[in-house]
Amino acid sequence: MPSLNLNTPFQPLIEHAGTCGKGPANQPTISLNIPVAIVTGATSGIGADIARDLHSRGWKVACVGRRAQAGNDLVQSLGENARFYQADVSDYQSQAAVFRKVFRLWGRIDALCANAGVGDQSSLYLLNRRDKGVEDVPPEPDLSCTDINFKGVVYGTVLATHFMRHNRPEAGGRIVVTGSIGGIFPHRTYPEYSGTKAAVNQFVRGVAPVLKAKDNIHINCVLPGIVATPIVPPEMIEAVAPECRRISSATPSILPRLEQGNATNTEAPRRVPFPRAEVPDDTCVVNIHTRNSISGPST
């Protein structure tokens, strides 16, 4: 696997990969000197900023999302070495199709940013049904939050592992999962969302040792706080209480220790003063900035 030093932009080689987004593409010239990343949930928020950040550092970026117009607008703004793939991460075959296309186009996959996520799509409390009779069973809840936030991460990890085994000259790569501080400190308004983020946190900790030892794949989970993205109600962003600020971000304290290689895979985030809701850029800076020796911590 080529060096993934993000502090020094890659010198892109001349390629003929056609236009980005909509429009025709010529047969690409595969270059193993330029790393390739797949970013899910890339049409807005954290995912879009991750895509921009990686692309600005010389990466080839495959942007994945459900909204075609937003995705195509993003890759058009990025220019060369960016592609958009419309897909549903909760559908295994839909994700698999993206991985196949990216590998066929660019010849390798160095990183997966498993970022796609949504909040609770239905209330699990059913407070408006408290007067219903015992035989009036509630309708099946919409658990697409679980399907996207958890199953989507598991599917992506399985697929990334498969394709990263075929990277040359060296197999392996990076997987970074966007978790949430809600996986540590659950939010009563979003219990399903909090549960999915707790699940991905433990999933990453569970698979990290084996992926590192067997396949040279380093997986990490980033736990941002309240981030100003389209899935977060503006009222929540504007009303960040002091007690929430103390837990809204573990990034500032964990990042230096990740850079030094001292984080462990059993360490919980510390409460750090954070006087505002985060913006996507706060999360971007840590997503692939980990050293080869680190795998598994939640940051």
- Is residue 70 exposed (0-12), middle (13-18) or buried (19+ Cβ within 10 Å)? middle
pLDDT at residue 272, as a whole number: 36
pLDDT tens column, 40-98: 999 998 899 999 999 999 999 999 999 999 999 999 999 999 999 999 999 999 999 99
Domain architecture of the chain: domains with CATH: 36-129+139-284 (3.40.50.720)
pLDDT at residue 196, as a whole number: 98
Of the chain, the percentage scoring pLDDT greater than 70 comes to 64
What does the alpha-carbon distance between residue 297 and residue 211 come to, in Å, rounded to a whole number? 13
197 part of the active site: yes
Which H or E element spans position 37? Answer: strand 36-40
pLDDT tens column, 211-264: 999 999 999 999 986 665 555 555 555 655 544 543 333 333 323 323 333 333
Residue the block writes with tokens 């929540």:
236
Laid out side by side, the sheet with 60-65 consists of 82-86, 60-65, 36-40, 111-114, 173-178, 217-222
pLDDT band at residue 107, thresholds of 50, 70 and 90? Answer: very high
Catalytic residue among 85, 155, 190, 193: 193
CB 223 within 8 A of CB 298: yes
Catalytic residue among 60, 151, 197, 212: 197
pLDDT band at residue 289, thresholds of 50, 70 and 90? Answer: very low
Tally helices (H) and strands (E) across the chain.
10, 6
Q: Residue 210 corresponds to which tokens in the numbers above?
A: 């084996």
pLDDT at residue 33, as a whole number: 83
Closest CA to 39 of 12, 68, 62, 22: 62
Burial 15-29 (b: 16+ CB within 10 A, else e): bebeebbeeeeeebe
